[in-house]
Chains A and B, each alone.
Chain A
Amino acid sequence: MDKVCTANTAIASLESGMTLGIGGWGPRRKPMALIREILRSDLTDLTVVSYGGADVGMLCAAGKLRKLVFAFVSLDFIPLEPYFRQARQNGAIEVMEIDEGLMLLGLRAAAMGVPFIPTSVGLGTDVVLHNPEIQLIDSPYGDDRQWLAMPALELDAALVHVDRADARGVCQIKGPDHYMDDLFVRAAGQSIVSCDQLVDTSFFHTDPEESRYVFWERSCTNRVVPLPYGAHPGSCTPLYGIDIEHFKHYVASAGCESGWQQYYSEFIAIDEAMYLQKVGGPAAINALPLPVY
């Protein structure tokens, strides 16, 4: 089965009002080229589940979000995401704010096809106060404790970015952490995977070690979108690091009148090939130092 398609085709399969899960973590291995394609589309009214970075910020800036399910939104080295802050401080989006681990459990419940997973996480905090959709339950096994029933976070679609994939959807993440990307694709009705490199299946046969970096089976991948440098301006360790200068420019734009419109016309309202030229081209991105934490 050949699952390769363009970003345009992949994003055209989505509909307004959908719930999307976005892989990666903060500024790390985010499917930013797919996000740019959403920004160019007329999709709107989206619910997004994300360990958020500029993916969430840009969707907020463009008015694409109705609701955000989140535990944080941060650019790591710039702790606060400016467009997310504006959206919250303007009361522009609905939120379901939960613990990072609760998000994991919600995705896992959806992946398992169960309605909830019981946990103590969130008890005694504003997770319970601000999220009426989260219920407290008793154990059927007779302890006297309250449990929080973390509901399944069912996704209409998951968007993730990987280092490389073959046309059948075998996806490899060579960086040190695959984050919750495996849970995102399993929790979703369909998954759209962008990859830095499209490889022949034989790539995985050359060395069995290569298959140790494949975190889900290909039946969990519905579309493969070759998008070199598709995580830029975020990192895709070990291929390239974070474009800190670009993020500074992006953050500064939030402080200017019509800053987002300027950022949009400069970096979004163009095609991906032009975008890559605009940000310095492959040589410049390849030279971005890998982040040291």
Chain B
Amino acid sequence: MTHSPLIDLLICACSRVWADDGEVLASGIGLIPRLAASLAMVRNPDLMMTDSEAYLVSEPVPVGARRGYQPRIETWMGFSRIFDNVWSGARHALVGPVQIDRFGQANISAIGDYAQPKVQMLGMRGFPGNSISHANSFFVPNHNKRVFVAGEVDTVCSIGYNADRLPRGYRFEDIDIRYIVTALCVFDFDPETHQPRLFSLHPGVQVEQVVENTGFEIGTPSQLETTPLPEPEELEILARLDPGELRYGVI
């Protein structure tokens, strides 16, 4: 397997979405988000994680074959109890939508006409409940206008900063979309206007590249950060969390 600096950079960038979180369930859905959550938990053991099946564990479970590793189980966490956690708000999920719009609304359900979709995907899963209950971030391994769409996403699976859809009695402050990590950059949302903006560019990426590949307008702060390269310590932790180097085979 060829080592890919970009993949390690993406995992480390993703792991930072939990940097300011306390004792919340860090859910990373998919290999890269899961490794990112695992890395975040190694550095901040207050975070909680599951074994990706039915138990909460005291340290992240390495991905791939167990190779004799026994998960450090601390409590049962079957699916019914996951929703108790979701609705408590003590969770921050990193998920991978297929479409995202300027409101931060996301789609994993269906592309095209809803009655007879051009492409039927998974279904909206837990997106509606996640998005109104706790913090969410997104990971998008590619960055183009099919993902970052010009209008609204075809099926709105998660609530975003969209005044036209805001339920009565709700404010944008009730919605908590943190970061979008892509192959080119990291977005966040302006805390005042709730508009998407460039948070950092990955090394070697130009602003124009991001603008050209994003279907909506994005704010560009005058002082642009560069997404930090992985630290040696992070790479050491990743080597332990992914001994089979599955991460280099995913994109």
Contact = CB atoms under 8 A, between A and B. Distances in A.
A177 B50 CA distance: 13
Contact of A123 (B110, B118, B132): B132
Interface string A75-102: 0000110001100111100000111111
Most buried by A among B52, B121, B167: B167
Interface string B152-187: 000111111010011111100000000000000000
B226 to A, nearest CB: 34
Contacts of B159: 123-125
Contact of A177 (B53, B118, B168): B53
B120 A84 contact: yes
A143 interface: yes
Nearest to B128: A99
A70 B80 CA distance: 16
Interface in A91-146: 91, 97-102, 104, 119-127, 129-130, 136, 143-146
A216 interface: no
A251 B99 CA distance: 25
Given A125-B128, A144-B168, A179-B80, A88 B120 contact: yes
Contacts of B132: 120-124
Interface in B99-126: 105, 109-110, 114-126
Contacts of B120: 80, 84-85, 88-89
Given A100-B126, A121-B129, A179 B156 contact: no
Interface of A is mostly: loop
A101 B83 CA distance: 6
Contact of B116 (A72, A91, A179): A91
Interface in A132-180: 136, 143-146, 176-180
B136 interface: no
A100 B122 CA distance: 12
Interface string A16-58: 0000000001000000000000000000000000001000000
A178 B55 CA distance: 13
A84 B83 CA distance: 25
Interface string B73-113: 00010111001001100000000000000000100011000
A32 to B, nearest CB: 19
A142 to B, nearest CB: 11
B110 to A, nearest CB: 7
B133 A121 contact: yes
Given A102-B128, A143-B169, A144-B168, A120 B123 contact: no
Contacts of B125: 71-72, 99-100
B167 A126 contact: no
A99 B78 contact: no
Contacts, number: 140
A119 B167 CA distance: 12
Contact of B86 (A72, A101, A126, A129): A101
Contacts of B167: 120, 123-124, 136, 145-146
A125 B65 CA distance: 38
A292 B122 contact: no
B169 A180 contact: no
A278 to B, nearest CB: 30
Contact of B121 (A80, A124, A126): A80
B83 A125 contact: no
B127 A99 contact: yes
Contact of B79 (A120, A127, A129, A180): A180
Nearest to A84: B120
B168 A71 contact: no
B137 interface: no
Contact of A129 (B121, B127, B156, B162): B156
A176 B169 contact: no
Interface string B191-217: 000000000000000000000000000
8 contacts: A80-B120, A123-B128, A124-B132, A124-B170, A125-B128, A145-B170, A176-B76, A178-B78
Given A100-B79, A125-B124, A136-B167, 14 more contacts: A71-B126, A89-B117, A97-B124, A100-B129, A101-B87, A121-B132, A124-B132, A143-B169, A145-B168, A176-B78, A177-B54, A178-B78, A183-B80, A293-B52
In the complex, the 7 A-B pairs of residues with the closest C-beta atoms, listed nearest first? A145-B169, A124-B159, A91-B116, A176-B54, A72-B123, A88-B120, A177-B78
